Structure 1
Amino acid sequence: MRVGSLLRFRWTAFANSKARQQYVPQHKPVLEDDIKRLEDFLLSKPNVLVLTGAGISTESGIPDYRSEGVGLYARTNHKPIQHMEFVKSSAVRKRYWARNFVGWPSFSATQPNATHHALARFEREQRVQAVVTQNVDRLHTKAGSKLVVEVHGSGYVVKCLSCEYRIDRHEFQSILSSLNPAFQDAPDMIRPDGDVEIPAEYIDNFRIPECPDCGGDLKPEIVFFGDSVPRARLDEIAALVYNSDGLLVLGSSLLVFSGYRVVLQTKDLKLPVAIVNIGDTRADHLADIKISAKCGDVLPKLFDYRSAKSVS
């Protein structure tokens, strides 16, 4: 590789890294003693259940909602979609799918980071039982984790609200693209802060296909705000908690009850809870171990820690 090409390559890699870090809140360096404490916790509890939140995906370039200064609430006027609004209003559905259509290529191209890969390795090494995630980004699966329960569903599947029809989101993107040729300039609608800004006339004219089986409305297989997590999924998570010997929470403030519930179930069984998160969480008072740090500074160093120390 020539010098000029090498410099461009390094600058591109640096720029991409900076872009991924723009959604990570300010944080302090992790302490070596904290890494050791968490490693000892996992060594003594080889059947730990892992609960992950939006904080582990910020390092991949997906913003969370609440982080001070960098979350979606702080950077944009974007608010999460409400379930009943989506169900009742065709205008809301048009606006949602238009934004989703524009943002999908970038969202679906997002890659797992070191935390996702570390958890996949821990599963292979039988250090953790399973991952329960509040995220809809499929990054755990992309990283190689096999046993993943998606509390809030996935953005990679589209389903009918009236029947059992389902379609892969990539295939649905192709259908939307064919129905909306005016959106050829869609990439230009993504703002520098990652939000999507679509002219009103585009949204008004955006076309959404009906369910081919029953003519019903289609939505992503995501539990929107105001909707309920399916009972079967809650039962599956409860069984994982019951069969675990502890819980490790990563990158979640636990303000959403679907995550906090898992902590409460764990403590009801008198099992230990460890939390790694930048900033406070709703369950800090219940944690046996709380580490205020970036997950990417902690998880990849576990079980490599002692060998690294001996080498140094």
Structure 2
Amino acid sequence: MALSDVIDELAAQWRACRHLLVLTGAGISTESGIPDFRSATAVQTRQPDFADVLSLRFFQQDPAAFWLAFRRIFPFGTSRTVYPNTGHRLLAQLAATGKAVTVVTQNIDGLHQRAGSPHVIEAHGSVERLVCPACLCREHDAACRHQPVPCCHCCGEVLKPDVVLYGEPVEAMDAALVALAEADCLWVMGSSLEAGPVNQLPALARHWRMPSALVNLQPTALDSRFDVCLHRPIGEVCAKFRQILGFDSD
């Protein structure tokens, strides 16, 4: 399907919907300089111990080694050196039109909020926050982030990044299902749809006969479940779409 045809179809879906739900994955943040850890070129995910290092069990067994590895894999979690890109800004601008736009993101970078999206469900948490696994305190100052092994100022327990580690449930899935039930259009942007359980959303949307679209650089196993499917860079597609809608360019 040609890019111009897809843009026209996206515009038609947008104009017809009342509540848009957008599921985003790593592909929407790669143009901000954050690697897609599921891509074929991602060195980290080819390491046999990747899932073990980012597991709840490893955090509990060796917090110091966990934090060293976590900061090596996600260096953006300790600085503000990455910024929202065209894709993030487009979704924020769509929400600013007055229509309901809910973003369910698999990313942990916080870029949707920084771009201005008001309704974001973080399926896998955020590196912008720390949580105490003992007392559940989330009120921690910025200095904690730079400690080799950050500790809770309330109880002294080692803090955990407020992200979903391997071995932990995706508690935000309930909120994502509620958002899908309230929406009347689903877009997926920059996700391989390999990680569950949020990859179940397209099947539900299809079952409910909800208009849907997928924009992802690579094909996915679920391409056939979408009304519109395009394999192009997110930034290119979003830039064209912003022009069609008359939004200011970057």
Q: Taking structure 2 as the reference length, what is the TM-score of the superposition? A: 0.86
| Partner of residue 172, structure 1 | 144
Distance 1:37 1:120 in 2: 20
SS in 1 for 2:197: helix
Q: 2:64 aligns with which of 78, 94, 114?
A: 94
| Partner of residue 83, structure 2 | 111
Post-superposition Cα deviations, 1:168-216, rounded to whole Å, max 9, x if no partner, equal 4733124x1xxxxxxxxxxxxxxxxxxxxxxxxxxxxxx5244332333
Summarize the alignment of residues 232-243 of structure 1 with structure 2, pairs less than 5 Å apart: 233-243=172-182
Distance 1:110 1:167 in 2: 24
Distance 2:77 2:192 in 1: 28
Distance 2:222 2:96 in 1: 29
| Partner of residue 60, structure 1 | 32
| Partner of residue 244, structure 2 | 305
| Partner of residue 152, structure 2 | 211
- Are the counterparts in 1 of residues 206 and 226 from structure 2 also a CA contact under 8 Å? no
Distance 1:296 1:78 in 2: 32
Cα gap change, 1:265/1:307 in structure 2, threshold over 3 Å: closer, same or farther?
closer
Post-superposition Cα deviations, 1:285-308, rounded to whole Å, max 9, x if no partner, equal 211111111111112221522769
Summarize the alignment of residues 249-268 of structure 1 with structure 2, pairs less than 5 Å apart: 249-268=188-207
| Partner of residue 19, structure 1 | none
Distance 1:172 1:244 in 2: 38
Distance 1:133 1:111 in 2: 16
| Partner of residue 229, structure 2 | 290
Cα gap change, 1:269/1:307 in structure 2, threshold over 3 Å: closer, same or farther?
closer
Structure showing the higher helix proportion among its residues: 1
Distance 1:265 1:145 in 2: 24
- What amino acid does structure 1 have at the position aligned with 2:65? R
Shift of 1:35: 1.5
Distance 1:107 1:115 in 2: 21
Distance 2:141 2:25 in 1: 22
Shift of 1:48: 1.4
Distance 1:156 1:212 in 2: 17
Q: Could you say which structure has the larger radius of gyration?
A: 1
- What amino acid does structure 2 have at the position aligned with 1:171? A
- What amino acid does structure 1 have at the position aligned with 2:117? S
Percentage of identical aligned residues:
31
Q: Taking structure 1 as the reference length, what is the TM-score of the superposition? A: 0.70
- What amino acid does structure 2 have at the position aligned with 1:157? R
Q: 1:79 aligns with which of 19, 31, 50?
A: 50
Post-superposition Cα deviations, 1:19-45, rounded to whole Å, max 9, x if no partner, equal xxxxxxxxxxx7222222222222222
Shift of 1:274: 0.8
Q: 1:225 aligns with which of 159, 166, 172?
A: 166
Shift of 1:139: 0.4
Q: CA RMSD in A?
A: 2.6
SS in 2 for 1:166: coil
Unpaired stretches in structure 2, ≥5 consecutive residues:
none
- Are the counterparts in 1 of residues 131 and 138 from structure 2 also a CA contact under 8 Å? yes
Number of residues of Structure 1 aligned to a counterpart in Structure 2: 244
- What amino acid does structure 1 have at the position aligned with 2:101? Q
Distance 1:101 1:70 in 2: 16
Shift of 1:64: 0.9
Post-superposition Cα deviations, 1:203-257, rounded to whole Å, max 9, x if no partner, equal xxxx524433233331100001221112xx3222111111110100000001001
1:130 aligns with 2:107: no
Distance 1:265 1:251 in 2: 19
| Partner of residue 41, structure 2 | 69
1:50 aligns with 2:22: yes
- Are the counterparts in 2 of residues 130 and 148 from structure 1 also a CA contact under 8 Å? yes
Post-superposition Cα deviations, 1:98-133, rounded to whole Å, max 9, x if no partner, equal 244562477532100111011100110135521111
Cα gap change, 1:33/1:142 in structure 2, threshold over 3 Å: closer, same or farther?
same
- What amino acid does structure 2 have at the position aligned with 1:283? L
Q: 1:121 aligns with which of 83, 89, 93?
A: 93
Distance 2:130 2:246 in 1: 46
Shift of 1:72: 4.0
